[in-house]
Amino acid sequence: MCDRRMLIVEDDRSTRDGLQRLFISRGWEVAMVTTQAEGLALLEDYDPDWVVIPWEQLEGTGERFMFQVRAKARRPRVVLLTDSMDSASSAMASCLKPDLRFRKPITPEEVFRACEPSWNRETPRVG
């Protein structure tokens, strides 16, 4: 069993595929979905260590998804990807306290390099 799990909720195929390829090549188990509804359905069963979520999607902001993630007993860390945000959206996203926040466009390598120090300090899952 892989000791690191990532759930990628992303409607942009190139971003989603790039993140998947990079993290799988680094030994991570990766689940990908294109909508927040699919992500919420998978969240409990998959039990990820990290979740990548865009703030803006066709179905709305990542607010509901972030509330669900923060309500979990074993909360995964969150990487929030943003396009352009107005001040109200930016304030709401900040209140939800993502662990990391990036503005698109960003490469998968940039995400990995920024996150790697904290990932290396985490305790691997057991089981």
- CATH number for 110: 3.40.50.2300
Q: Is the pLDDT of residue 32 over 90?
A: yes
Q: What is the pLDDT of residue 74?
A: 72
Report the alpha-carbon distance of residue 116 to residue 113 in Å, rounded: 5
* pLDDT of 78 strictly over 60: yes
Instruction: Indicate if the pLDDT at residue 36 is higher than 60.
Output: yes
Kindly report, residue by residue over 111-127, the tens digit of the pLDDT.
888 777 666 555 444 44
Query: With pLDDT > 90 as the criterion, what percentage of the chain qualifies?
Result: 13
- Residue 83: inside a domain, yes or no? yes
Specify the pLDDT at position 93: 66
CB-facing half-sphere around the CA of 112: CA atoms within 13 A:
15
Residue 127 lies in a domain: no
Assigned domain for 122 exists: no
